[in-house]
Amino acid sequence: LAKTTQPISMDSYEGQEVNITCSHNNIATNDYITWYQQFPSQGPRFIIQGYKTKVTNEVASLFIPADRKSSTLSLPRVSLSDTAVYYCLVGDGDGGTSYGKLTFGQGTILTVHP
């Protein structure tokens, strides 16, 4: 499965837009890109998933360039409550052979300041 690389940490201020980029140079044709958010003392929760181009939901946007070797999670107008760890995962939907290889890595620690 594709290895992902993310910045270890980022800082922002309330009201700003935050973009977190994930590199996945070896992404396979069947791979989807999924982002998770984890607050302290909680399990990760799904934010957004995409395959190509742009996906937007009520929480975030996900930008994926044509070569799909990277992806950018965009959080509009962050607040203090967006302080969390953000994980980028790359994996396919073909079944069990890839499930055991999904890895979360260390993620990106986003700190939003007042």
Partner 1 sequence: NAGVTQTPKFQVLKTGQSMTLQCAQDMNHEYMSWYRQDPGMGLRLIHYSVGAGITDQGEVPNGYNVSRSTTEDFPLRLLSAAPSQTSVYFCASTRDSGNTIYFGEGSWLTVV
Pairing of strands 108-113, 84-92: antiparallel
Can you tell me which of 20, 36, 60, 110 binds partner 1, judged by CB under 8 A? 36
* Binder of partner 1 out of 41, 58, 66, 67 (CB under 8 A): 41
Which residue matches tokens 């996906």?
A: 55
Q: Would you call 113 exposed, middle or buried from its count of C-beta atoms within 10 A (0-12, 13-18, 19+)?
A: exposed
Binding region for partner 1 (CB under 8 A) out of 10-18, 21-29, 43-51, 65-73: 43-51
Interface contacts to partner 1, rule CB under 8 A? 30, 32, 34, 36, 41-46, 49, 87, 91-96, 98-100, 102-107
